[in-house]
Amino acid sequence: MAKLIAERADVIPQLAEIFRTYGFEGASLARITEGTKLGKGSIYHFFPGGKEEMAAAVLSEIDGWFSVNAFLPLREEALAAQGISRMFDEVQRYFLSGRKVCLVGVFALGNERDRFGAAVKAYFKEWVEALTAALVRNGRDAASATDLAEEVVAGIQGGLVLARALNQPKVFVRMLDRLKLRCA
Amino acid sequence: MAKLIAERADVIPQLAEIFRTYGFEGASLARITEGTKLGKGSIYHFFPGGKEEMAAAVLSEIDGWFSVNAFLPLREEALAAQGISRMFDEVQRYFLSGRKVCLVGVFALGNERDRFGAAVKAYFKEWVEALTAALVRNGRDAASATDLAEEVVAGIQGGLVLARALNQPKVFVRMLDRLKLRCA
DNA sequence: GTCTATAAAGCGATAGAC
DNA sequence: GTCTATCGCTTTATAGAC
């Protein structure tokens, strides 16, 4: 019988899903081996540092995804307005229109912030700064751009919380629409 | 030596603090006995249902606090604008100006939502509805009131996430100020 | 790279003395 | 109402065969 050989990179999205669902402490190795269809041996082969290394790898991948798909357009799109619009589209797509939660937000609220505080902080800082810069390029003064960028990033996170609490993904979509409008 | 006798009601705020800090799965009995200065025997005497009953009691107490201090003013203050203002003040005070996190929000994001989904949903539903009613009493049409209420509650939660992620409580205070202004 | 077996520690919960 | 001792289970992590 043929045997599937996994690669480290293949496992990370599965780990992300598990951490998102159960949090860091709730993501037991039993759940991890079940979710990845890999034995403990394989998991520890890829991540000798255990759960801590797994979570760090996941955070790093998430940050990479946002850097490329959301922050880069904000910074480099020739027309700032188009970069902002692109960011909103990618965010809506990434969070499955409110059916998927933000792992970095989950870690920010929990005590995981102590272990991964630097990564969590960097992710949000980068987001706010890139959006601020785009808003400035779009004609706003620095003060109101900072203010609005903060409001948008917080609003996105809050939209995810409320959408999930009420079990109404559309709450998140409505939130995005309002914020989009305010950036115009 | 005199012995301190605890009451169930005294323990609940301490439990709230522990669940807020570590989440449901992270709140081990070791942390609970340490945080409450009570033995397992005493804890299980108060909460025979174990952690599940503890968390339910905490959620119930939080809901009670908000009902009295935030939702009631929204519904019953003679001047709607004053009820809204009062809600914002109480919220800022409750969350220690951004230094304290919302346990219901934490549970909403995590898989605790499965166990406590009803309580989580009821809390946010009540909040949005009470604020909507106050905004209508304050002269808004129903549609824009619903919209704004949703934005405010989500914004508050997002403000808490971002403030904690950046380790800047003032981010939360600024968020409240913006939302307050928008309700005026 | 994958698996099974296993170790050592921590977990939630219970029992029973005081 | 409080405490200590203990049960049975799950946890993370390691070892070693394949």
Is residue B5 situated within a structural domain? no
Question: What's the pLDDT at B3?
Answer: 60
Q: How many domains does chain A have?
A: 1
**B17–chain A Cβ distance below 8 A for any pair:** no
Question: What's the pLDDT at B1?
Answer: 46
- Which protein residues have any CB–strand D distance under 7 A? A 27-31, 40-41, 44, 48, 50-52; B 3-7, 38-42, 44-46
Question: What's the pLDDT at A114?
Answer: 84
Is residue A12 situated within a structural domain? no
**Residue B92 predicted with pLDDT over 60:** yes
Percent of chain B with pLDDT over 70: 98
pLDDT in tens, chain A (184 residues): 455 677 899 999 999 999 999 999 999 999 999 999 999 999 999 999 999 999 999 999 999 999 999 999 999 999 999 999 999 999 999 999 999 999 999 999 998 888 999 999 999 999 999 999 999 999 999 999 999 999 999 999 999 999 999 999 999 999 999 999 999 9
Is residue A5 situated within a structural domain? no
**Which residues form the domain of A141?**
59-183
Is residue A84 situated within a structural domain? yes
As given in the structure block, the two tokens for residue B48 are: 């025979």
Residue B167 and residue A31: Cα distance in Å, rounded? 31
Residues of B in contact with A121 (CB under 8 A): 165-167
- Residues 6+ positions from A8 with CB-CB distance below 8 Å: A46, A47, A57
Question: What's the pLDDT at B84?
Answer: 98
* Total Cβ atoms within 10 A of residue A82: 13
Chain C positions under 7 Å from a protein CB? Answer: 1-5, 10-17
* Rg of chain A taking only CA atoms, in angstroms: 18
Is residue A42 situated within a structural domain? no
Number of helical H runs and strand E runs in chain A: 10, 0
Nearest one of B118, B114, B120 to B153, comparing CA atoms: B120
Is residue A33 situated within a structural domain? no
Chain D positions under 7 Å from a protein CB? Answer: 1-5, 10-17
The CATH number covering residue A167 comes to 1.10.357.10
Is residue B49 situated within a structural domain? no
Q: A154 with A167: CB under 8 angstroms?
A: no
pTM: 0.97
Is residue B26 situated within a structural domain? no
